[in-house]
Structure 1
């Protein structure tokens, strides 16, 4: 039937598919997307908890990743980054007041 592995175990095998999806997304206007970005998006949005799958299932998931799903992933990460930067700024500011 085909070998079943965890998603992470298939990563090197599916790199050409990840590159292809990144190229597709770049053509759609996501100019800075990399195969690593596609991988992280799929891990967060599609493959939560590193499930086991067959190779063809992983490739199918990659090619079915929609630009809407990728945009949602980018938006959520941007908000998280903003929150992290605000937290760092607040900590830095409070530490500066303590040392004065």
Structure 2
């Protein structure tokens, strides 16, 4: 597995992360959050990487796929109060 990750270039890695975020956005849409985009998911997940930097791939995948709707909505609410634009 380690050699597979080393063989991925930045573009392939970016595409894989985009697919994961799309999958999570679709899941959130199925439970009623119809306007969620993959960019919204990425903004929510990546906010905790601002100080530490991007984590190892396995942690990144886990963070995206384990994102709960309540955590996502908390992020969106706080962002709206702050007037943040994604």
Normalized per residue, which structure has more strand?
A: 1
Cα pair distance change 1:81/1:53, threshold 3 Å: closer
Q: Distance in 2 between matches of 1:75 and 1:31?
A: 16
Q: Who is 1:73 aligned against?
A: 75
Cα pair distance change 1:52/1:43, threshold 3 Å: closer
TM superposition outliers: structure 1 runs of 4+ over 4 Å:
none
Q: Distance in 2 between matches of 1:65 and 1:48?
A: 17
Provide the TM-score with structure 2 as the length reference: 0.73
Q: Who is 1:29 aligned against?
A: 32
Which structure carries more relative contact order (alpha carbon 8 Å, separation 6+)?
A: 1
| Structure 2: gaps of 5 or more residues | none
Q: Please say if 1:49 is aligned against 2:48.
A: no
SS of the residue corresponding to residue 16 of structure 2 reads coil
Provide the TM-score with structure 1 as the length reference: 0.64
